[in-house]
Amino acid sequence: MEKWLENHKIRPLDAGAMDICRKKWDSIAKPLHSLGVMEDDIIRIAGITGKPEVSLDKKGLIIMCADNGVVEEGITQSGQEVTALVAENFLSGQATAAILCKKTGADLFPVDIGVAVDTSLINRKIAYGTRNLAKETAMTRAQALRALQVGTELVGELCKKGYKIIATGEMGIGNTTTSSALACAFLHREPAEMTGRGAGLSTPGLQKKIQVIQSALALHLPNCRDALDVLAAVGGFDIAGLAGVFLGGAVYGIPIVIDGFISSVAALTAKMLRKECADYMLASHVSKEPASGIVMEALGLRAPLHADMCLGEGTGALTLFPFLDLACEVYTKMSTFEDISLEAYQPLT
């Protein structure tokens, strides 16, 4: 079963398509690279798809929803029941991400990959929440692998339906704790540096959260053989599912947009499992969580948006869609220097 991780082929980005795309940008009648990251992202998408003609006309958001047993330790402001309540609101259109999806023209795919109760969401439930990582591994190695497969399979399904780009989101009370624990484990950082207040912890609550993560890492890491073991020990089904989405982007050649801290840790998890998949990711924004910039640096990505967002659900990733749509509009419709009989700009030496 674990051969699944190794058997999927991930091709390098298409250098030829990227070169054609870059040259087209340089031919457009404006100063060279004057749209900055807008140009870089379109070039990257050309490399991901293997096509210099970039179209993002069919967009999707996958939200992985799951509960985390570590909430038993009192490290959250909200109760576990909030996960299911918010998750159901994705279907009713009342959640923030649902409203943003409607405005940005993205289709919403909320997935129950491990909510503690039954829901009306797309059912890919691995279990009714993870175990308490403060006392035992959050999930088995087989469960972690299955969650990865769920994410990858969903990307394959959307790819067959013609989706051109996928944003990532999550919902799960306690998942900033699992994200911080994974980030510490993968990047060899201390919990005090990588742990934030999540949805709004008090200072004593934050200190308890840090202590729980410290204890969990001390308990589990000595027994971890690889990244999959780390994910199983201190991760969550939502993070594992999203890591699978990032893997799926690389397998099926479709760009996957990172949301905030939790989504970026899922992206980091995917990179730890298959480093090649990092080329298929696009950063959206830098979250308010303290470790967000550190994780983004580890991914080798630069997020264009700095808006102090920390809501989750994919809200930050969705804000990148209008940014990319504007870039595509210029890329496909603006006149070239040749069109207007103007001498092209030359690179400065």
Question: Which residue, chain included where needed, has tokens 């980091």?
Answer: 268
- Quote the CA–CA distance of 339 and 2 in Å, as a whole number: 54
Is residue 2 annotated as a catalytic residue, yes or no? no
Residue at 234: amino acid letter: V
Catalytic residue, candidates 313, 329, 338, 343? 313
The single-letter DSSP state of residue 135 is: T
- Angle ∠(90,41,154) on CA atoms, nearest 5: 40
> Would you tell me how many other CB atoms lie within 10 Å of the CB of residue 80?
19
Question: Which residue, chain included where needed, has tokens 């893997």?
Answer: 247
Radius of gyration of the chain (CA): 20
Residues 308, 288 contacting (CB under 8 angstroms):
yes
SS3 343: coil
Question: Which residue, chain included where needed, has tokens 């409203």?
Answer: 99
Alpha helix (H) ranges present in the chain?
Answer: 3-7, 15-27, 37-49, 81-92, 96-104, 141-160, 175-187, 191-194, 203-220, 227-234, 237-252, 261-273, 292-299, 315-333
Name residues whose C-beta falls within 8 Å of residue 148's C-beta, 6 or more positions apart in sequence.
5, 240, 241, 243, 244, 247, 273
Residues 212, 70 contacting (CB under 8 angstroms):
yes
Name residues whose C-beta falls within 8 Å of residue 127's C-beta, 6 or more positions apart in sequence.
114, 139, 143, 237
Q: Strands 256-257, 106-114: parallel, antiparallel or unpaired by DSSP?
A: unpaired
Active-site residues: which are they?
313
